[in-house]
Amino acid sequence: MPGQRALLVREIGKPLELVASLIPSDQFSRDWGLLVTDKLPAVLCKDVMGIVSKTGQDVDSLQVGDRVIHRAEVAPGFVEGGLQEYAITDARFLAKLPSSINDDEAATIPTNLTSVATALFVTLGISPPWTQDTPSERPQSILIVGGGSACGQFATELAEMAGISQIVLVGGDEPNLKARGATHFIDRHIEDGDIISKIKEIVGDKLLYALDTVNAALGLHVALSVLSRTSQGKLARLVPVGPLEDMETYGHKVLDVFANEFVKHPDTMALWERLPGYLQARTITPTAFEVKQPHGLRADVVNAVLDAYRDNKKVVKANIHL
């Protein structure tokens, strides 16, 4: 194999398998042609856990048999995608797994983690935890709307690692979010006016950074309403579904997150290099998942999950064992 490439494969006849974990953008690709319209046939699934079967001549960081995770990108032939028995990826942008994390847990991590890393450290411009900035140079507060989502959970952990002292979350599952580093929790089920009041009681007029992982108009309104009135704030939104008609009236920057910006960003390699240690220390922890049955590449099983995303049903992250 040439260069910095690695081949991941399920181990035939052994219990370890390649695990492909579905995400909402897989439904967008199926139904809207997101990133695949002019490239069909395409292989879906960006979250991949597998076993290293072969490495390129320039790879010295991996050995055959290593368990790894990677985020599949749109490459010629879709060789990186998860819904196939073999996947080829760039060995510089994956993470070896410690024994403390199992295959299915690991498969929940790549896309959601790198997406919020993009939002925090590229889109919003917050210094990542592996830089040498002093505490005085780091933001004091951040608001995360949709904190209970998988992206929200990882964003909470990264914000804590980045040294942000006030991490205010709007979401559900308070015990889980507090365990991940949230300093303040606000139930998303209360009235939006009450949510805004509670946030302002915590941050005053000093909030300059917000991340919305859900993209509902209500969440955007809440975030824009609590950013500082005396300084221009920034709101990053994941997978934007359209403009908020009156958002310019708030006077803040509304920034769309393009996770592909992080693929070759200088901080990307730093994150992947440190991720095994973060996982071992449980600084980064997996999210909930459900292993779909029966095993194997079954179109009916995959489509049922994607249909649930399409129909806005509650979906636990679905893992497909190949």
The distance in angstroms from the start CA to the end CA of the chain is: 23
Check residue 316 and report its DSSP letter.
P
Across residues 300-322, what is the average pLDDT?
94
CA dist 97 and 268 (Å) reads: 17
Check residue 120 and report its DSSP letter.
I
Across residues 237-252, what is the average pLDDT?
69
Round the average pLDDT of the chain to a whole number and report it: 86
Looking at beta carbons, which pairs linking 49-52 to residues 24 or more positions away fall under 8 Å?
Answer: 49/18, 49/19, 49/21, 49/97, 49/103, 49/104, 49/106, 49/107, 50/8, 50/9, 50/10, 50/18, 50/19, 50/87, 51/8, 51/9, 51/10, 51/11, 51/16, 51/18, 52/6, 52/7, 52/8
Domains present along the chain, CATH in parentheses: 5-109+286-321 (3.90.180.10), 113-260 (3.40.50.720)
Which tops the pLDDT comparison, 167 or 1? 167
Residue 239: burial class (beta carbons within 10 Å; 0-12, 13-18, 19+): middle
Across residues 216-220, what is the average pLDDT?
73
Check residue 126 and report its DSSP letter.
P
pLDDT of 216 > 90? The answer is no
Across residues 104-114, what is the average pLDDT?
95
Are the beta carbons of 297 and 284 closer than 8 angstroms?
A: no
Q: At 246, phi and psi to the nearest 5?
A: -105, 15
Residue 204: burial class (beta carbons within 10 Å; 0-12, 13-18, 19+): exposed
Which tops the pLDDT comparison, 216 or 130? 130
Centre a 10 Å sphere on the Cβ of residue 233 and count the other Cβ atoms it contains: 22
pLDDT band at 60 (very low <50, low <70, confident <90, very high): confident
Top-ranked range on mean pLDDT: pick from 4-13, 62-71, 220-229, 273-282:
273-282
For position 109, what pLDDT does the model report? 97
CA dist 27 and 265 (Å) reads: 26
Q: How far is CA 123 from CA 10, 75, 235, 257, 262, in A?
A: 36, 24, 9, 6, 10
Cα dihedral 190, 193, 198, 201, rounded to 10, equals -170
Indicate the residue type of 87: A
Q: At 231, phi and psi to the nearest 5?
A: -135, 150
pLDDT of 320 > 80? The answer is yes
Top-ranked range on mean pLDDT: pick from 52-56, 259-263, 302-306:
302-306
Cβ neighbours for 110, distance < 8 A, ≥ 6 positions apart: 46, 47, 48, 69, 70, 71
Which tops the pLDDT comparison, 117 or 15? 117
- Which alpha helices (DSSP H) does the chain contain, by range? 24-32, 103-107, 110-118, 150-161, 174-180, 192-203, 217-226, 266-280, 299-310
At residue 100's C-alpha, the angle toward residues 98 and 106, to 5°, is 70
Per-residue b or e along 34-55, where b marks 16 or more CB atoms closer than 10 Å to that residue's CB:
ebbeeeeebbbbbbbbbbbbeb
pLDDT of 181 > 70? The answer is yes
For position 11, what pLDDT does the model report? 38
CA dist 87 and 69 (Å) reads: 11
For position 15, what pLDDT does the model report? 42
pLDDT of 87 > 60? The answer is yes
Are the beta carbons of 115 and 260 closer than 8 angstroms?
A: no
